[in-house]
Amino acid sequence: MRADLSGVDPLAYNLATRTNVADALARSARQFPTRAAVVERDEVITYAELDATVDALATALVARGAVGGTPVAMLMTTSWKFLAVYFACARAGAVAVPVNVTLAPSDIEWILADAQVRHLVVDDALAPLLASLPARQRALAVIATGDAPGATLTWAQATAPAPQPVEVLVEDRAAVQCLYTSGTTSRPKGVLTSHLSVVVAALTNALALGHAWGPEPSVLVNALPLFHTTALNTLCLPVLVTGGTVILVAPFDAARVLDEVEARRATHVMLLPLMWQAIVAELDRQPRDVRSVRRAVYAMAPMGTALLDAVDERFANAAVILGSGQTEVVPATVLQWPEHRWSAPTSWGPPVPTVTTTCLDGAGRPTSGEGEIAYRGPHVCLGYWNNPGANADAFAGGWFHSGDVGHLDDAQVVWFTDRLKDIIKTGGENVSSVDVERVVSSLPGVRESSIVGVPDDYWGEMVCAVVVPDGSVDPAELGAAVMAGARAELAGFQVPKRVVVVDSLPKTATGKTRKHELRALLRPPTPGASPGAPE
């Protein structure tokens, strides 16, 4: 059965029935016009102000032809203006392409070329970066938030009040964003995600993280970069579509985060493990009232037991939980329930209600044992831009293949083993780098660690630990101490054969360790050296 729509204007029908990211913001603005939507230092942007800015920017984009899936690149730091541009792209029917501004200019140039960008919004602070790009990319239609040379439109011009609301036809399955993956092993891939995926994921995250629509809004402190899916899709959008308040703290500063938590009575904080470590140290230095926090979430890497206990102790009213996912399947795809902090602390937790999760064996069939974690559901992306080979692999067999390995237990809790590419095959055994990292990072003297495999004639691959000291153990003795501690807690084949002490680990902008760089830097052991000698 189908409705006869021959007498209905397509735009009118679309407006009446669609799922659009910007419409979700508009609903919050209608219900809570004077409520603070975003707070950035001393600047408070209400929902009415944010929505009006979005409509003005969308008007400017439509007037310049940025409609119907046109990519709009964003060279922008974390700010309320970033969120306004993102929602404006959604309202205009354009595709937002947030760019990781910490990348090298050559990588940014490649992304702009790959995405075939002709429209660009740039922060004043990043104008020098724009000037360093080739002439063909400087000739884009540019909206500048400040005084960027070559800008075709200033922020003041682009945000002049719109004469009427922007209403253009945007399909539910049209792309709203193209986020480029971190590219830790190869060129980054552009992940196209639809309005439907983003809105369903936002509402699911709101449900799972306890954001309520009504008189008691959530207050989120966000210290992660908005060009990444975690900050944008997992953290900020669920709050904004339910009428809460987003506090932006960029760059991360533990003292500022805690000051904002105390002053704004924040209910939600999500940070990387190293950030939580800094938060604990700052609370010990200067206590704050953090009793308002209901959810203390961590992601990107496991947290050692000692640090988890420290966060539990200091955030006594908060559930401390792990969230997991990936850009291609709008995170969170799996999320611990509060009880899993104690019953399954090293698990990923169960799937969220709008994602079906399974594990696939080597033939691509669902298995009750260990296999590649795969997903189905509305969170799944539209596919990779300009990469048909990657799409054929990713969607094989009717599942999205994550590249992660793990298993589901009888309670449907997901247990992550490792990334496929990071599993170490040593002496006929498979070693999860994550399991070894969890142990090594919790040892005395270790601030953080990364475990990688490097080619070895004897072992096939040698398990190597790269550790950053915390200063409590003599660096000259740290390697031997790590090996001794690992032997006490791990099976013999899991114990690192080499320990390398470094000042810091190479990281992506979102805190993931660039393991390919570590593998490239780790030279084979010196001929004649005894196996397992720490360095």
* Weakest-pLDDT range from 129-133, 196-200, 482-486: 129-133
What's the confidence (pLDDT) of residue 534?
A: 45
Q: CATH 2.60.370.10: does it fit domain 423-521?
A: no
Q: Is the pLDDT of residue 137 over 80?
A: no
Level-2 CATH architecture, domain 23-31+47-170: 3-Layer(aba) Sandwich (3.40)
Helix axes 433-441, 475-489, angle to 10 degrees: 120
**Span 401-456, pLDDT tens digits:** 999 999 999 999 999 998 888 889 888 788 989 889 989 999 999 999 999 999 88
- From the list 180, 155, 162, 181, the residue with the least C-alpha distance to 82 is 155
Backbone angles phi, psi at 320, to 5 degrees: -95, 110
**Span 266-289, pLDDT tens digits:** 999 999 998 999 999 999 999 999
What's the confidence (pLDDT) of residue 134?
A: 79
What's the confidence (pLDDT) of residue 185?
A: 52
pTM assigned to the model: 0.88
Task: Return the sign of the alpha-carbon dihedral for residues 399, 404, 405, 406.
Answer: negative
Q: Is the pLDDT of residue 49 over 80?
A: yes
Strands 329-335 and 498-501: unpaired
According to DSSP, residue 164 is labeled: S
- How far apart are alpha carbons 388 and 384 in whole angstroms? 7
Domain locations in the chain? 23-31+47-170, 423-521
Portion of the chain with pLDDT greater than 90, in percent: 76
Find the mean pLDDT for residues 343-366. 95
Q: Is the pLDDT of residue 105 over 90?
A: no
Which H or E run includes 417? strand 414-419
* Weakest-pLDDT range from 266-270, 351-355, 461-465: 461-465
Q: Is the pLDDT of residue 36 over 80?
A: yes
Portion of the chain with pLDDT greater than 70, in percent: 95
Find the mean pLDDT for residues 505-518. 84
Find the mean pLDDT for residues 77-100. 97
pLDDT band at 126 (very low <50, low <70, confident <90, very high): confident
Residue for token digits 């253009």? 168
23-31+47-170 shares its CATH topology with 423-521? no
Alpha-helical segments (H) within 414-531: 433-441, 475-489, 515-521
